[in-house]
Structure 1
């Protein structure tokens, strides 16, 4: 498959909206059955060779150790326990309601019982509708589901390469199910005191100074896939700094600025991978310089922190 194949949101919006809610169902199970980590790092999915996974969870809540995987090759949801048992069901021909029911039934058949505290979507237009009552979202096109996973894998490797350049505290490259975006975040080490009115999810997510980088498939605010970056807290005059390539732009969103490189603009470049890396680097340099980070001290050329260690032979 070509690097960054076509992925027009208009062509697979219905599948994306259904899959997004499937992911939220499983994501809320992960939230209930995993040990809490800083910045909610226990919650996101990670990429696999066939789709995305929750990683092992359970045990602390009395359940057996288990995983839930989306297989975008055979298009099944797969639940497996550490003792070797597994069960699965097809992702095709499912509404959110039937997917929710079958997921819980499959877990119960394997001796796993998880209580989802709020069994409704998070941050979506139908956030007041229980999963069990959503018969509207029921589109799953296998070709587009496979395509989105292929793109996530390609972008994930670019983000891993970019992550290697930084020696400070960083997040994994992981997929957040609430917004369905693949992200990687760098931290300065400085604490950030959020105002008292800020909700608990945001307070924990942004309790430290950070610059985040990622990719998402598009939404109501930006109706096409794009690479992005933002700095929190946003330093003054950030949006005055240039971005690379010239097609990248600062976009105002929720009273702050988001660096955006459209997916199709990156695809049109002679070297899309190098273009995305340059975009992330330009956004990082802008945010870090304006926020007063020690860029030189935090650098990690070639993924190596020891200045006397030669690069490994290829």
Structure 2
């Protein structure tokens, strides 16, 4: 399988917009039925060998233990309970409205009772339209859906490899349904004193200093896939530091600087995987050093923290 196959947003935009809303519906079920974790780590999807999963949830809220999985090989949504009950339905041919209806029916058939608190898209142009009324988004190209999952899987392993370098508090490599990106975030223990007017989602996500690394598929504001990194709060003169490879750049987005390596630029490198890791490392060094982190103390070469194991044999 080709590493980082072509993923031009223009060629699968309609499928992406539909899938994004499918993911938000399932993600909001996960939000309602899972135990809250720091920085919302309970909410994102994780990768599987056939797609993405909510992971097990339920039990504490009186529901059976259940999972919801997107299968991008057979192109079905699979709802399963720990006692072996399973209901699935095809992803192809669904509008957002019919997907929403089929999912609720599947949950009900398995004895799962979950109420989505806000059954509308989050931070999308049609955020005022209920899922149950969205017949507009109904595109699903199986080939592009499968490639989306393949790219997620490849990027996830690159992020896992890069994250092995850090011994501090770090998030899982996970796929966020609200922004449709995949990311891992490294944390400083320093608390961020945020203004009272900051919304509760942001307050929890950024209650500590962070450097985050990820990949997204493009959107209306940035019409192509890209690897990215940011530091929050942003230290002074962050964008003065160089990035690697030379094609990477600092961009201003939402009032702060974002390190960006365009997907096609990474694909053009002699060793795309090494180029992405070098990009993340350069962005980390810029953010962590400028923010005053103890970079040496949190280093974890080869994923090893024990100095005896890390030392070469005599």
TM-score of the superposed pair, with normalisation by structure 1: 0.99
SS in 1 for 2:308: coil
The alignment status of 1:266 with 2:266, answered yes or no, reads: yes
| Structure 1 position 102, deviation (Å) | 0.2
Q: Structure 2 CA distance, aligned partners of 1:223 and 1:174?
A: 22
Q: What is the aligned residue count? A: 313
Q: Structure 1 CA distance, aligned partners of 2:191 and 2:125?
A: 32
Q: Structure 2 CA distance, aligned partners of 1:267 and 1:277?
A: 13
| Structure 1 position 128, deviation (Å) | 0.3
The alignment status of 1:79 with 2:68, answered yes or no, reads: no
Aligned CA distance change for structure 1 residues 283 and 67 (closer, same or farther; 3 Å): same
Which residues in structure 2 correspond to 1:28-67 (within 5 Å)? Answer: 28-67=28-67
Alignment-derived partner of residue 156 in structure 2: 156
The alignment status of 1:288 with 2:292, answered yes or no, reads: no
In structure 2, the gaps of 5 or more residues are none
Runs of 4+ with >3 A deviation: 310-313
| Structure 1 position 21, deviation (Å) | 0.2
Tell me, yes or no, if the aligned pair for 1:302 and 1:311 is still in contact at 8 Å: no
Tell me, yes or no, if the aligned pair for 1:158 and 1:273 is still in contact at 8 Å: yes
Alignment-derived partner of residue 226 in structure 1: 226
The alignment status of 1:103 with 2:106, answered yes or no, reads: no
Alignment-derived partner of residue 173 in structure 2: 173
Q: Structure 2 CA distance, aligned partners of 1:52 and 1:33?
A: 17
Tell me, yes or no, if the aligned pair for 1:9 and 1:225 is still in contact at 8 Å: yes
Tell me, yes or no, if the aligned pair for 1:45 and 1:55 is still in contact at 8 Å: yes
**Deviation per residue, 1:261-292 (Å, 9 max, x gap):** 00000000010000000000000000001000
Which residues in structure 2 correspond to 1:196-215 (within 5 Å)? Answer: 196-215=196-215
Q: Structure 2 CA distance, aligned partners of 1:212 and 1:22?
A: 25
Q: Structure 1 CA distance, aligned partners of 2:311 and 2:6?
A: 35
Q: Structure 2 CA distance, aligned partners of 1:85 and 1:303?
A: 39
Query: Cα RMSD over matched residues?
Result: 1.1
Tell me, yes or no, if the aligned pair for 2:32 and 2:115 is still in contact at 8 Å: yes
In structure 1, the gaps of 5 or more residues are none
SS in 2 for 1:111: coil
| Structure 1 position 312, deviation (Å) | 11
| Structure 1 position 310, deviation (Å) | 4.6
Q: Structure 2 CA distance, aligned partners of 1:310 and 1:163?
A: 17
